Chain A
Amino acid sequence: MSDNGFQDVGLGWLEGSGAHSDIVLSTRVRLARNLQGHAFAARVRDGERQEIFEHVRTAVQATALNGGAGYELAAMPALGRRILHERHLVSRELAGLSGESPARGAGLFMGPQDAVGVMVNEEDHLRLQAILSGLRLLEAFHRVDELDEELGTHLPFAYHQEYGYLTSCPTNVGTGLRASILIHLPGLVLTKEIGKVLQGISQVGLTFRGLYGEGSEVVGNFFQISNQTTLGKSEEDLVEHLQKIVGRVIQYEMGAREILMRDAPTVIEDKIWRAYGLLRYARSLSFEEVMNLLSGVRLGMSMNLLSGLRVYTLNKLMIFARDAHLEQAAGRPLRDAESDLHRATYVRRVLATEGDVSADAGDAPDDR
């Protein structure tokens, strides 16, 4: 598979459509499935992984994924695997980026429609997923459920009368469903309400993480919120519960933004314009810095303080300003400092062409 083989793969969710797409970046629903007759990841033999991969490859051809893209990670150069990971399509472990190279049989299939796909030989034999832009939980569940229906008629899934779908980790058993949304909560962070909200979330059977999944750091005020339990409730109940709570978190976030604008409007406006100014003109930017600045700019766009910016542009920067994507664009490996230069150049160029905000001089402070 050439590095150009995934120009746009898995990027549909960047489009910035769907409800609340300024606050909720994406919705993801995944289903964990294992094949009968094969040991789970912890005990599976190397040759068996390959067999599983081939089973899935064959089954995929009879589903909506047919005609899409398939990747055998062990056969791919590191850059390609890093790109898939930066797009949130494969986990760090599956991509072989946590030290060990990817296991034979580790793979990813993406449909031609892009929103649905399946990871092979991750912690579970199959991880079916649907990723959509904005807050569209039920729709994402239906998409992945359809794929599950199709794959299930061709592959014998491990299923137990009482426990439901069997998974490698008991935290996923039952429905095998993890629904998560990626949400931007700068208002709650700035008003220091975030701790309370996150604590509340964990008291109602939900959990939160950083941008790149379990154990990852919270960067740029982006949080992933997902269901914690998977057994004892139907898929629809799990998804609707998350939908309800996320709706409430959005309300809290809006409330926090109102408070900020009431109590510290000049601080907030200044922060937003500084963030935009740095992104637009800086000559060297680390990724973390970009994320933090994008958080400010996103807040400004969402509150109509910066006009002329599109959600799509900001989403795109979050992915294409990452190291592997910059290297792909440069056509060669980049050292750290060099990456920061390329990143700043890329961000400047994008903002100059599609993020030119109308720089309103604004009222003089005395006029307020």
Chain B
Amino acid sequence: MLCENCGERDASIHYTQIEKNEMQTLHLCEQCAADKGLQPGVNVGSFPLTDFLAQMGRSGPESVSDGPCAFCGLTLDDFKKTGRLGCSHCYVTFDTHLGSLLRRLHGGTQHVGKVYLPPDPSRAEQQERLAGLKRKLDRAVQSEDFERAAQLRDLIRTLEGAV
């Protein structure tokens, strides 16, 4: 659909208004909408990562590794261009850069959710996983989700048997 105002660009803003009990919808392109002072409250699909990435590496210490990642060959520049990491080793290679990025994106860097238990776990991994499951169990009991609590208890018992 073309913009009703300029008739040139695609209409991307559909603005409905009621005036004197009459409803009217305007189909406008972003520019004409802006000219009329009709701005959507927030930009749809706006993505903060690009801004963060642009800031990356500017104030970091010189000694920090900019890659390339020994496993996948990704460089810091590649990452800044695409916003995508190449492999799990990238999280180690670019650790210094990522720490501050993750803090800005998420407000912290420490995962406090589910603890993963790999198919062939070490004892420490099993203990950590157990602690994670017990946190979940407490929570399920608190919120009186007894079905969930029973499932978690079974998981904990199985795991305790294996440790």
Contact = CB atoms under 8 A, between A and B. Distances in A.
A231 B45 contact: no
Interface in B53-105: 71-74, 78, 82-88, 90-91, 98, 101-102, 105
Contacts of B85: 40, 42, 166-170
B49 A174 contact: no
A156 B119 contact: yes
A101 interface: no
A173 B73 CA distance: 21
Contacts of A177: 113
B91 to A, nearest CB: 6
Given A42-B84, A173-B102, A232 B108 contact: yes
What does DSSP make chain B's interface, helix, strand, loop or mixed? Answer: loop
A170 B74 CA distance: 15
Interface string A144-182: 010011001111111110111111111101110100000
B83 A169 contact: yes
B136 interface: yes
A159 B113 contact: no
A129 B83 CA distance: 23
B16 A190 contact: yes
A142 to B, nearest CB: 6
Contacts of A217: 12, 44
B161 interface: no
A162 B98 contact: no
B21 A266 contact: yes
Interface in B19-44: 21-23, 39-42, 44
User: What interface size band does chain B fall in?
Assistant: 35 or more
B51 to A, nearest CB: 12
B45 A198 contact: no
Given A171-B105, A232-B112, A271-B23, A39 B87 contact: yes
A299 B39 CA distance: 25
A34 B89 CA distance: 12
Contact of A157 (B23, B101, B116, B148): B116
A263 to B, nearest CB: 8
A218 B27 CA distance: 13
B17 A192 contact: yes
Contact of A42 (B12, B44, B82, B148): B82
B117 interface: yes
A249 B109 CA distance: 29
Contacts of A202: 42
Contacts of B105: 170-171, 229, 231
A233 B87 contact: no
A266 B24 CA distance: 15
B21 A264 contact: yes
Contact of B116 (A41, A145, A165): A165
A159 B112 CA distance: 13
A22 B61 CA distance: 54
Contact of A231 (B16, B22, B111, B135): B111
Contacts of A42: 74, 78, 82, 84-86
Nearest to A176: B113
A166 B44 contact: no
A347 to B, nearest CB: 20
B69 to A, nearest CB: 8
B87 A160 contact: no
10 contacts: A39-B72, A42-B86, A156-B118, A173-B91, A194-B41, A209-B45, A210-B45, A214-B47, A217-B12, A232-B106
The 4 closest A-B pairs by CB, nearest first: A195-B41, A164-B111, A232-B108, A43-B86
Interface of B: 1, 12, 14, 16-18, 21-23, 39-42, 44-45, 47, 49, 71-74, 78, 82-88, 90-91, 98, 101-102, 105-114, 116-119, 135-136, 139, 145, 148, 155
Interface of A: 34, 36, 38-43, 123, 138, 142, 145, 148-149, 152-160, 162-171, 173-175, 177, 189-190, 192, 194-199, 202, 208-210, 214-218, 229-236, 264, 266-267, 271, 288
Given A42-B84, A232-B108, 4 more contacts: A40-B72, A215-B44, A229-B107, A230-B106
